[in-house]
Amino acid sequence: MAFGTQESSARGRVTVLGFRLFYETFGQPERGTVLCLHGGPGVPHGYLTCLSDLTEFGYRVVFYDQLGCGKSDRPKGTSLFTIERAVEEADGIRRALHLGPIHLLGNSYGGMLALAYAIKYSRNLRSLVVSSGLASVPLANAELRRLVAAMPVGTRRTIERLERREAFHHPDYQRAAMAFYRRHICRLPTWPRELSRAMRETSRPVYRTMWGPSEFAVLGSLRYWDVTDRLPQIRVPTLITGGKYDEITPRVLRAIQGGIPGSRLVIFPNSSHLPMWEERERYMQIVGRFLRRHDAA
C-alpha cells in the first residue's frame, strides 16, 4: 500500500462553544471516522495531515484547529485555554460535524487531551490512539529535564544559563532548543514543510499559557496535570505509540499502558516524537490495522 498526503474532501468552520473553529476532512467513512487532536498546545493541525494516509484503510480522517490557533477564532485573553474546556470543544466538533462514534487519535498534548476525553466520554469512542501523549506532566517534565541533561555539554549549559536569566527568546537559547528538537521531536534530516510551517505558526498565547516558555521549561497551567490514577476508567481499545528517542519517553508511555486495561504499546525504533513522519509507512500500517480490529467496538 502506497502512502502520500491526500487531497482534503471538505473544509470549513463550525461554531462550537460560541467560537468558530476551522476543520478539514479527508476521505469517506467507509469503515468509520478518525478524529485527530493536534499538539502544542497551540500548534496548528497541519503537521498531522500526513495521517490522511489512513483514508487508504477506509476511514474518514478529520482535523481541526483548537481554539486560539491556526484558522480558528482567537479569543481575547487566555482564560479559555484549559484542557477541561478543550475536552468539551472536541466533543462539540464531533457533534457539530455529525461524526457519531469515533476513533480518537491525539498526538503530544493532543494525546493528553485524548486521554482526558476518553475518561469522560468513552461512550462516544470506538477506539483510542495515544501518539506520544502523556498522563502526567510532572513525570514527563522530569524526563524532559533528564534529556536536557544528556545533551552535549555546550548545549546543556546554554539552556541552563539562559533559563536562569529567563532569557527564553535569546537567539542562543532558540538554537539550543532547536538542537533538542532535532534529537527528540523529529530526527529527519529535512523536516516536512508541514511541520516547519506549523512550528512557525504556533500560537504563543496558547502555548505559553498552558505549557510554558519552552518545551522543557514547563511553567504553564498544565504543570501539575496528572490523570494517572484515572486511567483505569478508560475501557475502550487503546493503542499507545511513541519513538525510542521521543521527548515523551518510553517511560512515560509505559505508565499509560500500565494504567489502561488491555492497552497495547508500540515503540518505533528509528523515531522520536513524530513516527507518523519518521517511520511513516510502518506507523500507518500499525495504526490502520488497529483501527480495523475495532471498527464495531
CB atoms within 10 A of CB 119: 16
Is residue 271 flagged as an active site residue? no
279, with CB counted inside 10 A (0-12, 13-18, 19+), is: middle
Which three three-digit cell numbers place residue 248? 515523551
Is residue 131 flagged as an active site residue? no
Is residue 8 flagged as an active site residue? no
What percentage of the chain's residues is helix, strand, coil (to nearest 5)? Answer: 45, 20, 35
Measure the CA–CA gap between 133 and 253, rounded to whole angstroms: 7
Give the length of the chain.
Answer: 297
Annotated catalytic residue, options 38, 45, 103, 273: 273
Annotated catalytic residue, options 52, 184, 246, 271: 246
Residue among 110, 104, 116 at smallest CA distance from 237: 104
Task: Name the β-bridge partners of 36.
Answer: 63, 105
Task: Name the β-bridge partners of 267.
Answer: 242
Gyration radius of the chain over CA positions: 18
Measure the CA–CA gap between 67 and 155, rounded to whole angstroms: 34
Which three three-digit cell numbers place residue 216? 522543557
Return the amino acid letter for 63. Answer: F
Annotated catalytic residue, options 72, 91, 103, 108: 108
Residue 234 CA neighbour count, 13 Å, CB half = 31
- Are β-strands 19-26 and 59-64 bridged in parallel, bridged antiparallel, or unpaired? antiparallel
Run of H or E residues at 175:
helix 171-184
Residue among 63, 41, 61, 213 at smallest CA distance from 112: 41
Which three three-digit cell numbers place residue 242? 511513541
Catalytic center residues? 108, 246, 273
